[in-house]
Amino acid sequence: MRTAERALMARLPEGALMQRAAAGLAAVCAGLLDRVYGADVVLLVGGGDNGGDALYAGARLARRGARVTAVRAGARLHEGGLGALRAAGGRLAGPDGAAAGLVDGADLIVDGLTGIGGTGGLREPHATLAGLASASPATVVACDVPSGVDAGTGRVDGAAVRADVTVTFGTHKPGLLIDPGAAHCGVVELVDIGLGPDLPDPDVVAARPEDVRPPEPLPESDKYRRGVVGILAGGEEFTGAAVLCAGGAVHGGAGMVRFASVPHAVELVRHRWPEAVTTVIEPKPEELERVGRVQAWVVGPGLGTGEEAEALVRAVLGTDLPVLVDADGLTVLARRRDLLRRPAPTLLTPHAGELARLIGADREAIEARRLEHVRQAAAELQVTVLLKGSTTLVAEEGRPVRVNPTGTPRLATAGTGDVLSGLVGALLAGGMPALDAGASGAYLHGLAARIAAAGPAEEWEGEAPISAHDVITALPAAFRALG
C-alpha cells in the first residue's frame, strides 16, 4: 500500500490523496448517523496520516453542523487536518480525564490513532483511548484499520479498538480479513482512492464468488471423468466421521465415492449414502488395491492413531495420487513427518492444535499469528496447508495465501471438519490443484453453513443452530449460489 500510494501521490497535487480518503470516510460516517446536524462526533487522532484522514473527515462533518471534537493522542498532529477542523468549528482536547466524558457522550467515534504502519502493542495514551472507544455505546468507525491491529497479519498485541465499521482505503489489508484482527473490524467498507494499476500483486487474497470454480461436468462426462475420490475413514470407535466425510464428498460433486473401512463403518455409510461404493478392508497397505480405481484420496477422519491407522496413512501417501490428510491422519503425521516426502500433491487440513503438533509450535501462538504459522507450515512441510478456524487460511509455498471470507461461528460444531474433508477430496479428484481445491472447498463449506443457518427466508428471522449434516444438505444450494 505504501509503495502504491507513493506512486500515485507523485502524479497528484499535494494532499489530494488524503482528501479522497477523508471524503470517503466522512461519507460513511454521515450515513451511520441519524442526522449529521447536531451530532456529537469524537475523533481519536494520532500523529500519522490516519490521524490526518480523521481530522479532514471531521472538518467535513463539522461543516454540516456536527459538533466535532478531536482528542489528540500525542504532541504532534497533522497540521493541515487540524487547521481544517478548527476552521470548520471543530475543537481540540487532550488525552486527559475529559476524554472519557467526551467518548461516553459521543454519537460516533472515529479511530485515527494509528495506521497501517503500526506494529506491536499500543502505547499510552493510545491504549487507554482504544479501551474507551471499545467500551463506548457510540458507533465506532476505524480509519483504514482498527488501531492495535497489525494491518499485514491480523495480529493483536494488547489493547486494540473494536470497531463497528472499518473504512479502508485503496484495497483490503490482510489484517482486516484474518483473526484475531478481523474480529475487531466490524463491517468493512472499501473506499476507492484511485490506486488502480499502482497496486502490486497481493501476497494474500480472499475469494469472490466468481473466483470459485469447481469442476463442471461436460456433455461427454461420466463418473470417472468427473472424478473418483477414495475415502479411508472411521473405525470401530468413531463412525460418525466416516458418514459425514462420505456425505461431504457425495454432495461435493464427486463422480463416484469409494469408501473403505472396518465392517461397522462401511455398514453405516452404505445405509446413509447408497451412492457410495463401499469396501471392507483390513488395515494393511496391500488392501488399497481392493478399493478400486480412484483419482484422489482422503484419509484420517475417525481412523484412529495406532499402528493400523499408520499403516493406512503410509500406504495412501505411498501412491502417486493427490492425498488429503485430516484429523487422526494428522496425529499420525506428527510422529511420521517423513511420510510427507512425496512428489504428488498433499493437502493437510489441521486446526490450530493439530498444526501445533505438526510443526512443534504453541497452539495459542498459532491462533494469535495465523498467517505467519500457516506460511511456515507450508514451507517447512512442503505441502499445501488448510488451517481451519475462525478464519480459514490455505497456504502453499511461493503462492499468495488464500483467506476464506465465508466462515461463520456456526461451523464450530462437531463433524463439520469431516464434511470439509470429503468436499475438498471430491474437488481434488475432479482435477483441481490442491491450493484451489482447499480454497474453493472452504468457500463452499462456509457458504453452505450460512445457507443452512439462515433457512428458508419465509420461515426464519436471524440464524438457527446447525449441525454438520445441515451443512451437507445445504451444499447443493451453495454450488448454485456461485452463479
3-state secondary structure 173-196: CHHHCCCCHHHHCCEEEEECCCCH
From 156, 171, 200, give the residue that closes a domain.
200
Residues making up the annotated binding site for AMP are 388-392, 417
- pLDDT (0 to 100) of residue 456: 59
Considering the domain architecture, whether residues 412 and 430 belong to the same structural domain is answered as yes
Residue 335 to residue 342: CA distance in whole angstroms: 16
Q: Please tell me whether residue 403 adopts helix, strand or coil conformation.
A: strand
Considering the domain architecture, whether residues 215 and 122 belong to the same structural domain is answered as no
From 169, 200, 231, give the residue that closes a domain.
200
C-alpha cell of residue 12: 497528484
Higher pLDDT, 147 or 118: 147
Residues making up the annotated binding site for (6S)-NADPHX are 49-53, 115-121, 144, 241, 302, 351, 418
Residues making up the annotated binding site are 49-53, 111, 115-121, 144, 147, 241, 302, 351, 388-392, 417-418
Considering the domain architecture, whether residues 116 and 214 belong to the same structural domain is answered as no
Q: Which residues contact 252 (CB under 8 A, 6 or more apart)?
A: 422, 423, 424, 425, 426, 427, 441, 444, 475
Instruction: Average the pLDDT over 265-274 and give the result.
Output: 97
Say whether pLDDT at 229 is over 50: yes
Say whether pLDDT at 286 is over 70: yes
Domain range enclosing 238: 209-481
Helical pair 240-250 and 416-429, crossing angle rounded to 10 deg: 40
β 228-232/296-299 pair status: parallel
Which residue do the cell numbers 478400486 mark? 292
pLDDT in tens, 412-425: 999 999 999 999 99
When pLDDT is cut at 50, 70 and 90, the band that residue 319 belongs to is: very high
Say whether pLDDT at 8 is over 80: no
C-alpha cell of residue 226: 468427473
Say whether pLDDT at 332 is over 60: yes
Considering the domain architecture, whether residues 396 and 286 belong to the same structural domain is answered as yes
When pLDDT is cut at 50, 70 and 90, the band that residue 189 belongs to is: very high
Considering the domain architecture, whether residues 277 and 149 belong to the same structural domain is answered as no
Considering the domain architecture, whether residues 164 and 185 belong to the same structural domain is answered as yes
DSSP string, 255-293: SEEEEEE-HHHHHHHHHH-TTSEEEE--SSGGGHHHH--
Higher pLDDT, 370 or 115: 370
Higher pLDDT, 31 or 195: 31
Q: Looking at the DSSP assignment, which residues form a beta bridge with residue 260?
A: 232, 279
Considering the domain architecture, whether residues 310 and 188 belong to the same structural domain is answered as no
- pLDDT (0 to 100) of residue 465: 87
Say whether pLDDT at 370 is over 60: yes
What percent of the chain stands above pLDDT 70?
97
Residue 379 to residue 394: CA distance in whole angstroms: 12
CATH code of the domain covering residue 27: 3.40.50.10260
Considering the domain architecture, whether residues 82 and 228 belong to the same structural domain is answered as no
Q: Determine whether 190 is exposed, middle or buried from the number of CB atoms within 10 Å of its CB (0-12, 13-18, 19+).
A: middle
CATH code of the domain covering residue 415: 3.40.1190.20
pLDDT in tens, 79-137: 999 999 999 999 999 888 789 999 999 999 999 999 887 777 899 999 999 999 999 99
Considering the domain architecture, whether residues 150 and 222 belong to the same structural domain is answered as no
- pLDDT (0 to 100) of residue 461: 57
Considering the domain architecture, whether residues 271 and 193 belong to the same structural domain is answered as no
Residues making up the annotated binding site for K(+) are 50, 111, 147
Residue 120 to residue 368: CA distance in whole angstroms: 13
Considering the domain architecture, whether residues 360 and 473 belong to the same structural domain is answered as yes
C-alpha cell of residue 322: 493427490
Instruction: Average the pLDDT over 282-310 and give the result.
Output: 92
Residue in 343, 363, 361, 340 with CA at minimum distance from that of residue 353: 363
From 158, 180, 200, give the residue that closes a domain.
200
Considering the domain architecture, whether residues 246 and 216 belong to the same structural domain is answered as yes
Domain count, the chain: 2
Which residue do the cell numbers 487536518 mark? 81
Q: Which residues contact 95 (CB under 8 A, 6 or more apart)?
A: 71, 72, 73, 125, 128, 129
